[in-house]
Copies of this chain bind each other. A is one copy, B any other.
Amino acid sequence: MNPKYLHIYQDIRDKILHNTYPTNSQLPDEITLTKIYDCSRMTIKKALDLLVNEGMIYRKRGQGTFVMTQMAQKRKLIVSERELIGLTKTALRADVPVGSEVLQFHLEFASETVADFLQIPVSSPVYYIERLRLIDHQPYVIEHTYMNPTLTPGITEDILHQSVYAYLEQELQLKIASSKKILRAAPSNDEEQQYLNLKPTEPVFEVEQIGYLDNGTPFEYSISHHRYDLFEFTSFGFSQQ
């Protein structure tokens, strides 16, 4: 946590979460904060910007900076907010075991859609991976993943049983920089009903995702179908300006 603004961000965040700055209270003004943290006003602003983006605080010109009400702060009720990617990391609250059952794993020729998403020529070879992920031995999600083997070579079934992202980051030294997600509700099909143990009337939460490396290259395209009652997605939006 090197940069000064991140330290300030964390400190103020902690003070809010520990009720040193209670809900709806006013934070010290920016000038005062520069004295508290011995830094310039721009640095304070950068720290506060992060908190605004998370819905922890809000600012009113001419009045001050205030702690947001509780409900807007709550996060990670069931799963993730803007976690980039990856179940293993998200679910790992220490003792909860995450498992993977590999349903499919082979190379195939990229369809037009997949080629488009991965920015590779049609009919290039791609990994196709289908996994059933379990949390605490309960079926949780079926993932259909396409990966570009040029970028992510050496994937084995062994790795699929654990965390692919850990392999990419630690073994291949790749940096996952961003991801785009499209979220939908969808009726469940036979396969999903079987593996996720759903009734025909029970839907899935579909997440279509493209993952990008830090050089902007898409390295994976995936569609996941989550048990509708074990997944929710939270989002905080605010008006710029």
Binding site for B on A (CB under 8 A): 3, 6, 24, 42, 50, 55, 58, 60, 66, 68-69, 71-72, 77, 82-84, 116-117, 119, 176-187, 200-206, 210, 212, 214-218, 226, 228, 231-241
Contact B182 A77 (CB under 8 A): yes
Contact B60 A214 (CB under 8 A): yes
Residues of B within 8 A of A77 (CB): 182
Closest 7 CB pairs of A and B: A203-B203, A185-B185, A178-B238, A82-B237, A185-B205, A185-B228, A183-B233
Residue of B nearest to A63 (CB): B215
Contact A178 B234 (CB under 8 A): no
Contact B50 A240 (CB under 8 A): yes
Contact of A181 among B66, B117, B234 (CB under 8 A): B234
What are 13 sample pairs from A and B whose C-beta atoms fall under 8 A apart?
Answer: A6-B241, A58-B177, A58-B178, A58-B212, A66-B215, A71-B210, A178-B236, A178-B238, A179-B238, A180-B235, A181-B237, A185-B205, A186-B228
